[in-house]
């Protein structure tokens, strides 16, 4: 079959289209492009000015947030109110005159000694406790003192008395040289009073840890000493309470006496503790030092005493801003802000106010080029980079305007609308040309497929006809002498005739299905019984090729409403393909099961298999895999098209799983009762 359009005619059509339509469109496009470029330069200049204004608004808003936090701090009344600071405020303090700083917020390992100078008064004790204390002080009856302290614990009305009594019992056991009993007492104290401090200063937990470590050392239990030392370092690194610097160093020194027993885990804790200690020492110096020039990069304006001073600085754990306000009378307020936390907390809301229409994309990076905030709504990387204020040295704010969609771009002011319209017309012309070429190519491709189809079908029809004619000649000329041989030839002729009918019926059904003229006669039948009959008809053909058909039937399968002739055609097509493409495999498996809504039928072979690139195309009409053509396997290319059409017309679906060299599995699923009334189809 010849293609619909000769090549010369195709060339003339393309040339005429190019001269009459494409060339004018290109000229109009060039004119429009020049206008767009001129307009683009103007808009870029205006856009940069808008982005600069957005950057200024952002910096002003962030500065307002910083000032607002400092104003809230300066309104603090000593001893009466403490503001609720946001998370990005790491440290806040107030200092009146020459007095010691009052820490309002902090995250330190310890606090300066002078900030916790109040010692709690001795609370009232019960008569039982005082009697126990008197017996202990006499020193003659320690056991009686222990019993008396236990009685006071039972009758105590406050936790302070219980703690003092338990501390006294542990102390007496230690004096009696009973380390095991003393350890047991400390084990009772530690979980009961984990965050308590004696007289508001001495952490009970650290006392318990160091005392147990000493007692275990006297018993020679080095593993227990190591565990206590590890607990001590862990508590020092994460105290959960405020206590003074001198006490921190006291307990740390006590733990250091067992340094020889340390293991890698304790060494790691000690290193972490040292880092946090250095940070704490730095911040304590910062709040005590009236001249913040201790900060790296800090620069106090000369001659200015009053007013707000800002000192950005870097530490190993980030970038920070120290704010300091000092009055002429010496009253001082200070605050340390984590700049990274400030940006992450406030930048999004600030930019949302500055860019309520989400017309901008922006990114904020710190001095180390770490990306802290990213709101990039565009695929293009055309940012304009701005430096932030002096409070954020080395930080950058990258902004750009998001691309407009093509409609907004055409309708926007100053874009040369009429030129863009001409360009649009030219684009339509180009698309029309592409569509024309595509249509011609598809038509030629379809014509080639039809030609191949006719050639393949002719060959498939010719093969059984040739076989039948040859056998008839033998019978007609009486060359077949025995009755058994005649029967064999008659059987072969019947088989070839049935095969010929099958091929013709396939072609006719393909025509009906293509035109939607196929009529189905739905019946509620025993599906397994029909499958036995259908597969039995192919057993002889399979045995002639030394292939066995294995049947795997599920149990309890209900009746199914189908068109038996149509589904038989599906089974025959799939089994015929499995036989043709089995290669050297000697078996084919057909299995049936149900899940309550539909019945699944799978036909599996272990033959050539289908390549991944062909699996989505094998159900297309006339399509045949290139590998099959190389192997010389004949086929019309419509069998699987018919299968899919029949299955979908029954309200079902078909799937394929295959790997080259491992075979293929076709599974089709049929509902027990299709929703569609197929008998309404017109017959062909």
Architecture per CATH, domain 115-277, reads as Alpha Horseshoe (1.25)
pLDDT digit string (tens) for 348-399?
999 888 888 888 888 999 988 899 998 887 777 778 899 999 889 999 999 9
In this prediction the pTM is 0.52
Q: Which residue has the higher pLDDT, 227 or 449?
A: 227
Residues of the chain with CATH 3.30.565.10: 517-680
pLDDT digit string (tens) for 581-616?
887 888 899 999 988 788 999 999 998 888 888 888
Return the bridge partners of 560, or none: 525
Between strands 197-198 and 202-203, the pairing is antiparallel
pLDDT at 621 over 90: no
CATH T-level topology, domain 517-680: Heat Shock Protein 90 (3.30.565)
Percent over 90 (pLDDT), the chain: 25
Q: In angstroms, rounded to a whole number, what is the distance separating the alpha carbons of residues 672 and 559?
A: 7
Q: In angstroms, rounded to a whole number, what is the distance separating the alpha carbons of residues 636 and 657?
A: 22
Residues of the chain with CATH 1.25.40.10: 115-277
pLDDT digit string (tens) for 45-85?
887 888 899 999 999 999 999 888 888 888 776 666 677 88
**What pLDDT shows up at residue 298?**
45
Helix (H) or strand (E) holding 342: helix 339-354
Catalogue the E-assigned strands of 480-564: 523-525, 548-553, 560-562
Q: In angstroms, rounded to a whole number, what is the distance separating the alpha carbons of residues 172 and 182?
A: 8
pLDDT at 5 over 60: no
Q: 244 is written with which tokens?
A: 């003074």
**What pLDDT shows up at residue 355?**
84
């Amino acid at each position: 079959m010849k293609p619909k359009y000769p090549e010369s005619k195709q060339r003339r059509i393309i040339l005429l289209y190019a001269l009459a339509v494409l060339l004018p469109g290109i000229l109009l496009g060039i004119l429009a492009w020049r206008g767009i470029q001129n307009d683009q330069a103007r808009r870029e200049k205006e856009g940069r000015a808008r982005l600069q204004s957005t950057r200024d608004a952002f910096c002003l808003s962030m500065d307002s947030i910083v000032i607002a936090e400092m104003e809230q701090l300066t309104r603090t009344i000593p001893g009466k109110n403490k503001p609720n600071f946001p998370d990005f405020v790491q440290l806040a303090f107030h200092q009146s005159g020459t007095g010691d700083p009052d820490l309002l917020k902090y995250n330190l390992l310890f606090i300066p000694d002078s900030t916790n100078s109040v010692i709690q008064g001795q609370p009232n004790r019960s008569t039982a406790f005082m009697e126990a204390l008197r017996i202990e002080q006499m020193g003659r009856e320690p056991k009686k003192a222990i019993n008396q302290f236990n009685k006071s614990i039972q009758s105590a009305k406050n936790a302070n008395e219980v703690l003092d009594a338990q501390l006294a019992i542990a102390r007496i056991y230690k004096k009696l040289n009973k380390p095991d009993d003393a350890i047991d007492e400390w084990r009772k104290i530690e979980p009961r009073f984990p965050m308590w401090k004696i007289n508001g200063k001495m952490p009970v937990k650290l006392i318990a840890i160091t005392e147990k470590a000493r007692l275990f050392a006297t018993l020679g239990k080095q593993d227990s000493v190591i565990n206590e030392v590890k607990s001590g370092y862990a508590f020092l690194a994460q105290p959960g309470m405020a206590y003074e610097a001198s006490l921190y160093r006291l307990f740390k020194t006590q733990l250091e006496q067992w340094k020889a027993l340390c293991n890698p885990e304790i060494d790691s804790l000690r290193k972490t503790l040292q880092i946090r200690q250095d940070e704490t020492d730095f911040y304590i110096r910062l709040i005590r030092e009236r001249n913040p020039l201790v900060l790296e990069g800090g620069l106090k304006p000369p001659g200015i005493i009053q007013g707000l001073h800002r000192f950005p600085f870097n530490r190993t754990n980030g970038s920070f801003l120290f704010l300091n306000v000092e009055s002429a009378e010496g009253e001082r307020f200070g605050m340390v802000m984590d700049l990274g936390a400030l940006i992450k907390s406030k930048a999004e809301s600030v930019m949302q106010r500055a860019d309520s229409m989400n017309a901008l994309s922006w990114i904020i990076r710190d001095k180390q080029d770490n990306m802290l905030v990213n709101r990039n709504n565009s695929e293009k990387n055309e940012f304009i980079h701005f430096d932030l204020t002096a409070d954020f040295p080395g930080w950058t704010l990258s902004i750009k305007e998001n691309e407009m969609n093509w409609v907004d771009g055409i309708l926007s002011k100053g874009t040369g609308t009429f030129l863009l319209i001409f360009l649009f017309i030219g684009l339509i012309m180009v698309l029309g040309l592409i569509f024309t070429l595509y249509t011609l190519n598809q038509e030629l491709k379809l014509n080639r497929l039809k030609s191949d189809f006719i050639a393949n079908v002719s060959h498939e029809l010719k093969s059984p006809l040739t076989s039948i004619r040859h056998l008839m000649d033998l019978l007609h000329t009486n060359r077949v002498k025995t009755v058994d041989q005649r029967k064999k030839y008659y059987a072969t002729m019947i088989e070839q005739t049935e095969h010929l009918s099958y091929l013709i019926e396939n072609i006719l059904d393909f025509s009906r299905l293509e035109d939607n003229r196929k009529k189905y006669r739905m019946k509620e039948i025993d599906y397994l019984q029909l499958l036995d009959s259908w597969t039995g008809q192919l057993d002889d053909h399979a045995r002639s090729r030394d292939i066995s058909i294995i049947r795997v039937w599920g149990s309890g399968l209900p009746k199914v409403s189908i068109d038996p002739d149509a589904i038989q055609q599906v089974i025959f097509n799939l089994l015929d393909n499995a036989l043709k493409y089995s290669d050297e495999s000697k078996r084919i498996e057909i299995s049936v099961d149900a899940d309550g809504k539909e019945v699944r039928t799978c036909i599996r072979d272990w033959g050539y298999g289908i390549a991944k690139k062909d699996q989505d195309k094998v159900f297309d009409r006339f399509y045949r895999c290139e590998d099959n053509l190389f192997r010389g396997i004949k086929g019309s290319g419509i069998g699987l098209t018919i299968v899919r059409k029949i299955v979908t017309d029954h309200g079902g679906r078909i799937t394929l799983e295959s790997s080259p060299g491992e075979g293929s599995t076709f599974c089709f699923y049929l509902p027990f009762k299709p929703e569609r009334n197929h008998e309404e189809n017109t017959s062909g």
